[in-house]
Structure 1
Amino acid sequence: MSINIDHLSEEQLIELNHRIVERLKFLESMHTHNEMMQFNPGEQVSFEPPGRSRQVGTLVKYNKKTVTVITESGQRWNVSPHLLSKIKNVKQKSKKSGNVINLPSS
């Protein structure tokens, strides 16, 4: 796709730029919203902040661009949803199903 902008005045180019920036912000917001909807408040999640070990906590709130997570140590983090991973809960259904031992992943 080729768009010729050579005939546009400076004022028209500035207006076009503003509209493009608004559209890109809208699209980014939609992508973030879709990523956020993959998680539910109360769900156990994990994330790895730069220079720190993996953090595990509970998603407690949706924000405009992030979600709020309270970690097991009580820290409050605002995290971009694309950095989150769901934690799968392994529960024993009945005593007849045997013993399940959770081993730490390496």
Structure 2
Amino acid sequence: MTSERKTLLDRELFTEALRHMSEADLRYLNRMVVERLNLLDQARSTVQLAQFAQGDRVSFIANDGMEKHGTVLRLNKKTVSLRTDDQMLWKVSPGLLRKPGR
């Protein structure tokens, strides 16, 4: 409970501090927030990608709502390249992929 209250108090102090920042300070803070969000996104993507390996069988729901099945060809920086059973090539976010039986 103390940690939760401290966070709320910190947010209130931070909000008050924001009201007094110059444009230059706000732009700097924005840059720092964007960098932190990008880092968190990259870490999440890395964890998701680590669940798959070349040759794995996977499935996903395509834009048309149909379930597609295929084989992982390559792990890219943010996506998984795969060939579906109908011989189409796809680049899919790892968060959208499922291994059979899951």
TM-superposed deviation, 1:54: 0.9
- Bigger-Rg structure (1/2): 1
TM-score for the superposition, normalised by structure 1: 0.77
Letter in 2 for 1:7: H
1:45 maps to what in 2? 58
Distance 2:100 2:57 in 1: 6
The 4+ residue runs of structure 1 with deviation greater than 6 A are none
Letter in 2 for 1:40: A
The structure carrying a bigger helix percent of its residues is 2
Distance 2:37 2:65 in 1: 32
TM-superposed deviation, 1:6: 2.3
Could you tell me which runs of 5 or more consecutive residues in structure 1 were left unpaired when the two chains were aligned. 89-106
Letter in 2 for 1:33: T
RMSD in angstroms over aligned alpha carbons? 1.2
User: Where does 1:28-39 land on structure 2 (aligned, <5 Å)?
Assistant: 28-39=41-52
TM-superposed deviation, 1:40: 1.1
1:60 maps to what in 2? 73
User: Where does 1:1-106 land on structure 2 (aligned, <5 Å)?
Assistant: 1=7, 2=11, 3=14, 4-88=17-101
TM-score for the superposition, normalised by structure 2: 0.80
CA deviations on 1:1-20 (whole Å, 9 max, x unpaired) are 31122232110100110110
**Residues matched between the structures, number:** 88
Could you tell me which runs of 5 or more consecutive residues in structure 2 were left unpaired when the two chains were aligned. 1-6
Identity %: 36
